[in-house]
Amino acid sequence: MSTPRVVVLDYGSGNLRSAERALARAGADVVVSSDYRAALDSDGLVVPGVGAFAACMSGLEAVKGPELIGRRLGGNRPVLGVCVGMQVLFEVGREHGVETTGCGEWPGVVERLKAPVLPHMGWNTVDVAEGSRLFAGVEDQRFYFVHGYAARSWELETYPPFPAPQVSWTSYGDDRFVSAAENGPLAATQFHPEKSGDAGAVLLRNWVRFL
């Protein structure tokens, strides 16, 4: 069996090298690239993200990221979003009174968490969706979060014969937000698996195994 080829999409967001190293340890042949064709043809595409929703969308649009993600998903080719790379998959991001259009792969709004201390930074548990393949073997583990915004509801409706997405949640303060979603070839985590120690390594190995 050949080693899966994974592209970490370089669109000006940070944290690329740590993602590259973590995916290589998970068993992938990894390259960090902004090349459209390389990203389209790879076995798996990882969309990272650090910082503001609007800035990440601007960087994505500069490398045709929304089109690239859409084409991959249309061909049933896996995509993994991480942190703001998850947030931009939703329709809209709301930050500091400004609305920014996202990739629109999932309906819903990314907005500020309602918690006394922000950002939400550190280790937290995940209420894992039943039957999750992404979390297989680490359902009861803690993962590392750094964010002040998230999707606080899940609005995607599904109809038979299409399977329902597997949506996992995390609580912080009095709030609750989507911390991971698995929807056919599209998966995403609000936390950073590459910074989540052994649990994050298992999760990335699970994803690489799907490719």
61 part of the active site = no
Catalytic residue of the set 105, 147, 182, 192 = 192
- Secondary structure (3-state) at 184: coil
139 part of the active site = no
> What does the angle CA 70 – CA 72 – CA 77 come to, to the nearest 5 degrees?
140
- Secondary structure (3-state) at 191: coil
- 25 and 6 Cβ atoms separated by less than 8 Å: no
Catalytic residue of the set 20, 83, 103, 182 = 83
What residues have CB less than 8 Å from 61, skipping those under 6 apart? Answer: none
Angle between helices 53-62 and 65-74 (to 10 degrees): 80
Task: List C-alpha distances in Å: 55 to 98, 196, 208.
Answer: 12, 25, 28
Pairing relation of β-strands 149-151 and 106-112? Answer: antiparallel
Catalytic residue of the set 20, 111, 182, 194 = 194
Residues with active-site annotation: 83, 192, 194
